Structure 1
Amino acid sequence: MELKETLAGLLDDARARSLSLLEPLADTELVRQHSPLMSPLVWDLAHVANFEDLWLVRALGSDAVGAEYDHLYDAFEHPRAHRPSLPLLDPAGARRYLAEVRARALACLEGARLDTDEPLLDAGYVYRMVLQHEHQHDETMLATLQLMAAPGYRPETGSPAPTVGGAAPVPGAAEVVVAGGPFIMGTDTDPWAYDNERPAHEVDVPSFVIDTRPTTNAEYLEFVQAGGYHHPRWWTEAGWSWRNEAGLEHPGAWVSYGAQSWALDRFGVEVDLPPDEPVQHVCWYEADAYARWRGKRLPTEAEWEKAASWNPKAGVKHRYPWGNRLPEADQANLGHARFGPTPAGAFGDGASPWGCRQMVGDVWEWTSSDFRPYPGFRAFPYREYSEVFWGPEHKVLRGGSWASHPSAVRTTFRNWDYPIRRQIFAGLRCARDL
């Protein structure tokens, strides 16, 4: 299939996915701010359109569809908490903007040269960037939907509450030793890679031990019941201050009915806390405190990437833990196929060469690393994707979640967020020194 035809099909698939995600909701739910942590869903829709307008229309030399909307949908100009007060497009206007931009973008694609040395167009890079941006906003919208009050969100009008299933887990916790030595971190060749994943560079990582699966709800509950939220010895100074300020007692979306009775709020519906599922909705401070309590620590992002991607026998790096083939349903839980994580230790077919499972999908995994540029980093095609976020204010997450689209997941992909952030679908995997 010709590249242009492939890209057009991927754009259509992404749009259908975004619209179907919100199709069950009334327009009143789209304009409501369900949490001050998140935008109204209608803002996300029009922001997706505006980003496409910028990069698939104007950047390719065509006239803007909606330049007058640029200031409204600039994420840097307007923090999420303030967006409901803006004169936003209503749902019908946002859908119309999406459709008009897409028609113009496809017309531009027809005339674009993709066999060029121009970095923005080479191999369709700008189209891959815009595709990932839309898929990433789908995950953001799912985080918003998780925060909706009861009766909550249903994937289809009138359907039962989302349920989770998956491959059988491996019973019990296990660790694996990752041998020390150099490996190649990042990439020079992945056509989907963002600027912060580049360039590829050699990193010498000392031997370490890492868990073969993410931390479960049952394991994290032991920390809660042992009083982990009430002992500052497990927390960093900043983490303990935040725990007290926010009144944290347990992960987000957990509901307590006494010390021995716990439930999970899943899209507005309470279910018994699934003991074998990876814990999610923990911030970096909570993940770090738990790991300390276990006598372990969070892995660095270099350790995480080596455990996820490096084949020590062949001395080669893989795009995914299992190799370079695109994800299959028996290898990873991605693309909101189940609307929640699968049991920890599942997906043996998706294990890395070291034996680590679920390094891709299910829950984002906090690392100990600050978000920093790789040696030789060059911002492309705009500074605001990565460069403005460098520094200790943001911690790196790896691996993607059950809500992440496969196009926005790979062993080099770097996510980042504030250490207080817990509405995202994030958990942890422990490591320790050898």
Structure 2
Amino acid sequence: MFDQELLRHLYQDVRQKTLRLVEDLTLSQLHQQVHSEFSPLGWHFGHIAYTEALWLLGKSLPYPELIPIFRVDGYAKSQRCSILPQRKLLWDYVQTIREKVFAILPRITPKEERIWHWLIQHEMQHQETMTVIRALQGSLIPQIPEIFEQNAILTIPGGRVILGSDSVNALDNERPGYAQEIASFRISPAPVTQTEFAEFIAADGYHNPHWWSEAGWQWVQKEKITQPLYWQSKYKSLPVCGISYYEASAYCRFIGKRLPTEMEWEWAAQQGLPQQGRVWEWTNSWFTPYPGFTPYPYAGYSANYFDHQHKVLRGGSWATHGYLQRPSFRNWYQPHIRQMFAGLRWAED
């Protein structure tokens, strides 16, 4: 049922979280590019507002001189740090757009509800990216919850199951819901801990090509990786965090297991997969469209990444907004990316 008050609450709640991510930063921190894969924090902040204005405010967008800065296709990531506006102008820009957006909220119709849900999730996703940037910057310490005592390995029954979603808040890559045959499998009751992953490190796993795919071995040698990015050795019960798909896959080979497919993961999550939401969990699936896929709200939002170059992650991390932590939600990254808060959970037939 269409609920304007729910939307208002979500927009207010999420914006407060976004503001907390930037309010204590210096101008230098706002403009800093900490990694070639990421834009500066100030760009993300302005881009969130620009995207709201683009989809909700029509042709007369506020501060037209800032539009080229905050468009995805305006400037390269490496250029954005040098063209961002000063702090006061940036804050005025974001606040002005939000005031105009809230002014039209009481007049929206049920037909317009989906774009509002898409936009609020767009901000949530950028929030997590901003949290990653702050962690890389050293201005924030990841608050990863520990793994509780683990129960027995979970046996997930097979059968014909319904995956995906047709809910109003489902993104285009979650749609439409579809039927899928899944064979019975077993899955670990929690993400892999640092204690468990330490065995791979101690066995010189990062230097043994036996455990790695060809592409993974080339990557780990080139990058000289020797441990996960967010390794905190004194916290044994933390989930391993800051690993690429290549590392997750190599670890699974080391212990004689495999990564779950994203279909297996979602089916297990529908039945109550425990200890989710600590780290994103790599799957062995490429990011591909579901049968009957229709792009929304523009052609390339998801479809640009259906390129057999991006692996799917599921479950969300400690920095993922709870609204996104649903069984059908899909995240995707190239196999070598390890800066986000990602770990793994193994499976076996």
Query: TM-score, with normalisation over the residues of structure 1?
Result: 0.76
* SS of the residue 2:313 aligns to: strand
Mapping of residues 111-150 of structure 1, within 5 Å: 111-114=107-110, 118=111, 121=112, 124-149=113-138
Contact persistence 1:37–1:81 (CA under 8 A): no
Match of 1:28 in 2: 28
Match of 2:275 among 347, 358, 367: 358
Gaps of 5+ in 1: 154-160, 255-263, 265-271, 311-351
CA distance in 2, matches of 1:206, 1:78: 47
Structure 2 residue aligned with 1:277: 238
- Which residue of the partner structure matches residue 50 of structure 2? 50
Within a 5 Å distance, the mapping from 1:232-381 to structure 2 comes to 232-254=209-231, 264=232, 272-310=233-271, 352=272, 356-359=273-276, 361-381=277-297
CA distance in 2: counterparts of 1:232 and 1:2, whole angstroms: 54
| Number of the residue aligned with 2:15 | 15
**Structure 2 portions without partners, runs of 5+:** none
TM-score (normalised: structure 2): 0.94
Q: Tell me by how many angstroms 1:105 deviates.
A: 1.0
Say if 2:145 and 2:238, in contact at 8 Å, map to a contact too: no
What per-residue deviation string (whole Å, max 9, x for no partner) do you get for residues 181-227 of structure 1? 11001012x22110100011100011111111110011111001101
Identity %: 40
User: Which letter maps to 1:178?
Assistant: I
What CA deviation, in whole Å up to 9, does each residue of 1:238-290 have, x standing for no partner? 11111111111111133xxxxxxxxx2xxxxxxx5311111010000000000
In structure 1, C-alpha distance between the alignment counterparts of 2:212 and 2:88, rounded to whole Å = 47
Q: Cα gap change, 1:419/1:79 in structure 2, threshold over 3 Å: closer, same or farther? A: farther
For 1:163 and 1:301, locate their aligned partners in 2 and report how far apart those are by CA, in whole Å: 26
- Structure 1: how far apart are the matches of 2:311 and 2:8? 35
- The alpha-carbon distance between structure 1 residues 64 and 424, as it changes in their structure 2 partners (threshold 3 A), is same
Residue 222 of structure 2 is aligned to residue 226 of structure 1 = no
2:67 to 70, 83, 86: 70
CA distance in 2, matches of 1:113, 1:415: 29
Q: Are 1:94 and 2:90 an aligned pair?
A: yes
CA distance in 1, matches of 2:173, 2:209: 34
- Identify the range of structure 1 (17-26 vs 366-375) with the bigger mean alpha-carbon deviation: 17-26
SS of residue paired to 1:202: strand
CA–CA separation in structure 2 for the residues paired with 1:393 and 1:291: 20
Give how far 1:25 is off.
1.8
In 1: Cα distance, 2:42 partner to 2:175 partner: 33
1:113 to partner: Cα distance: 2.1
Greater share of residues in helix: 2
Whether the 8 Å CA contact 1:217–1:273 is kept in 2: the answer is no
| Cα offset, 1:170, TM superposition | 1.6
Matches within 5 A, 1:204-219: 204-219=181-196
Give the superposition deviation at 1:101: 0.7
1:104 shift after superposition: 1.3
Which residue in the other structure is 1:80 paired with? 77
1:24 Cα shift?
A: 2.1
Q: CA deviation at 1:77?
A: 4.7
Q: 1:87-137: per-residue Cα shift (whole Å, max 9, x none)?
A: 2222221111111111111122232223xxx4xx1xx21111111111111
Instruction: Number of aligned residue pairs: give it.
Output: 349
| Aligned partner (choices 132, 151, 157) of residue 179 of structure 1 | 157
Q: CA deviation at 1:148?
A: 1.5
